[in-house]
Amino acid sequence: MNRRPIITTPRISTMPRAQTESRLHLERYQISIEQSRLEKELESLEFRQVEIKTRLTQLADQASITAALQENVAKEHAAKQNKSTSSQGAIGSYPAQKTFNSESYQTFLLDF
C-alpha cells in the first residue's frame, strides 16, 4: 500500500506578516519596552547585590567578634575550672554557680 504524501497548505497564521509602517512601529515599540524593563531589572539586581555584599560584611564582622568572645569565655572557664579543682577540698562541696550576662539573655552554669 503506497500512501500518497499529504501536502498541507500553509496557514495564514504561519505566514510572515507584511512589513508595513505600522508593523515596524509596533516592533520598535515592543523592543523599547522590553529594553526599558530589562534596564530596570538590571538596576534592581545591582541594588540587591550591594545589599547582599553589605550584609555579608556585617556577618563576617559579627562572626569574628563572636569568635573572639568565645575564646575569652573558654579561657575564663578553663581558668575557673583549674581554680575550682585545686581549691576543692571535701567531698560534697559544690562550687558556686557561674553567671554569664549578655544583652539578649542570661544563663548560668552549674558544675557537679
Q: Domain limits of the chain?
A: 20-85
- Greater confidence, 82 or 50? 50
100, 77 contact by CB (below 8 A): no
Q: How far apart are CA 51 and CA 55, in angstroms?
A: 6
Q: Is 46 exposed, middle or buried (0-12, 13-18, 19+ CB in 10 A)?
A: exposed
CA 63 – CA 58 distance, rounded (Å): 9
Q: What is the mean pLDDT of residues 11-28?
A: 80
Is-above-0.75 flag for pTM? no
Residue 81 has what pLDDT? 81
Confidence grade of residue 4 (pLDDT, cut at 50, 70, 90): confident
Determine the pLDDT at residue 111. 62
Across 77-99, b (16+ Cβ under 10 Å) vs e yields eeeeeeeeeeeeeeeeeebeeee
pLDDT in tens, 22-80: 989 999 999 999 999 999 999 999 999 999 999 999 999 999 999 999 999 988 888 88
Residue 69 and residue 76 in contact, taking contact as beta carbons nearer than 8 Å = no
